[in-house]
Amino acid sequence: METTEEIIKILKGNIVYTETCNSFEMVENGYIVVDGNYVEGVYKDLPDKYKHFNIKNYGDRLIIPGFIDLHTHGAQFAIRGIGYDKELLPWLETYTFPEEAKFSNKDYAEKVYREFVNELYTEGTTRAVIFGTIHQEATEILMELLEGKEIISYVGKVNMDRNCPDFLKENADESIRTTIQWIESCHNKYKFVKPIITPRFVPTCSDSLMKALGDIAINNSIPVQSHLSENTDEIKWVGELHPDCESYGAVYDKYNLFGKTKTIMAHCVHLTEEEISKIIKNQVFIAHCPSSNINLSSGISPISKLLKNNAPLGLGSDIAGGETLSMLSVMSCAVKVSKLRKVCYGEDEMSLTIPEVFYLATKGGGKFFGKVGSFEGGYEFDALVIDDDNLWKVRKGKIEERIERLIYLGSSKNIMSRYVFGKEV
């Protein structure tokens, strides 16, 4: 058994986090006391009882929570940053489905997923919620790589049995059987990685498949992830496929895939008022994916309004719709795009502030994982130590300015240390 000395960790530096989205909590030259896996407290002056412990002194560096990526596609890593000449549906047909089909090959899957997981680590993402492909073996390879790198994550074997090319189509029975088998094979297998039920999106999932997936989620207490209201053509199509449902979101709800267990819906660009109400009532998480929404010309999500309405919200890199796994880049994109809502849709629209976007990338998304993404007492300790000297060659700014510039100009090279669940990784 570990002694107390080994369990207590103390880090010193400029500590920044967000309890609420309204402002930063900042302690310059402060201390974070970590007890095992959890934050014990943040202090301007270290309490006497901790004074005999070793202190890891990071000097003038920033210590911030690790980044949370609520939506991304590991299997699309090799096609990120190319092919943004199409909108969602033709983009899937032209670029994405052919790429995902390659994951029937385990060697290819291992090669791509290894680079994907390394990049997640490099970019300071300590927790992620990830789409795989329809292939069980490839999905398990991804899970093992994440486990090895100690990135705490939910991973989904994708289900899709209609409106997709034959080379990437399951039949409903096979899809359900494989999913159950996969869930069983995951049981107690990983410390850091968990399965998540993953119907790709309504257009590619038959009613019987969605019904079965809802049952599997509930019976096994497993969360759910999918896509919602990303693109206007997609929404129109869902309306044609499900004329009995009031909205796109109502289709998922019909099949117990909309908050019966913990749920993330990615995008949510064009929600109806009814969908917003249901999201808030069911506490469905929205993964806001600004980079993807702009690259695929999907639109500008009313993210400030959703935040003001207390919808559960986090950010998603959504590669390969988004071009990068860098949550810094996703944050700056979220702020930029939010400004254009005001420009395009008028004065009532608000843009995201820097504390708001920082909150979304840490505590907002972190809530999906529990008490994660903040340095409040009792939170799981995920942290990044940031050396931003290269961004401040003339003179160093105030802490808040350093965070703002980090978001606009920082990159993985500014991340000098990473902690996940109390441990440096």
The reply on whether position 337 binds a copy of itself by CB under 8 A is: yes
Q: In terms of CB distance, is 295 or 374 closer to a copy of itself?
A: 295
Instruction: Kindly state the tokens that stand for 205.
Output: 């999932």
Q: In terms of CB distance, is 159 or 298 closer to a copy of itself?
A: 298
Instruction: Kindly state the tokens that stand for 417.
Output: 């240390």
The reply on whether position 348 binds a copy of itself by CB under 8 A is: no
Q: Which of residues 155-174 bind a copy of itself (CB under 8 A)?
A: none
262 half-sphere exposure, CB direction, 13 A CA radius: 18
- Polymer length in residues for the chain: 425
Q: Which of residues 100-159 bind a copy of itself (CB under 8 A)?
A: 111-112, 115
Stretch that binds a copy of itself, among 55-63, 81-89, 151-159, 249-257 (CB under 8 A): 81-89
| Total interface residues for a copy of itself by CB under 8 A | 43
CA dist., res. 10 & res. 412, Å (int): 24
304: Cβ contacts below 8 Å, ≥ 6 apart: 338, 341, 349, 350, 351, 352, 356
Positive or negative: CA dihedral 40, 46, 51, 57: positive
Q: In terms of CB distance, is 82 or 416 closer to a copy of itself?
A: 82
The reply on whether position 24 binds a copy of itself by CB under 8 A is: no
Stretch that binds a copy of itself, among 45-53, 64-72, 184-192, 342-350 (CB under 8 A): 342-350
2: Cβ contacts below 8 Å, ≥ 6 apart: none
CA dist., res. 80 & res. 325, Å (int): 9
User: Considering only residues 64, 287, 300, 327, which one is a binding residue for a copy of itself as defined by CB under 8 A?
Assistant: 300
The reply on whether position 416 binds a copy of itself by CB under 8 A is: no
The distance of closest approach from Cβ of residue 94 to a copy of itself in the complex, given in angstroms and rounded to an integer, is: 13
Stretch that binds a copy of itself, among 184-192, 253-261, 289-297, 302-310 (CB under 8 A): 289-297
The reply on whether position 7 binds a copy of itself by CB under 8 A is: no
CA dist., res. 285 & res. 297, Å (int): 23
Q: How far is CA 24 from CA 34, 129, 178, 270, 280, in A?
A: 20, 25, 45, 30, 25
User: Under the rule (CB under 8 A), what is the footprint of a copy of itself?
Assistant: 77-78, 80-85, 111-112, 115, 294-295, 297-300, 323-324, 332, 335-337, 339-340, 342-345, 351, 353-354, 391, 393-395, 397, 401, 404-405, 408-409, 411
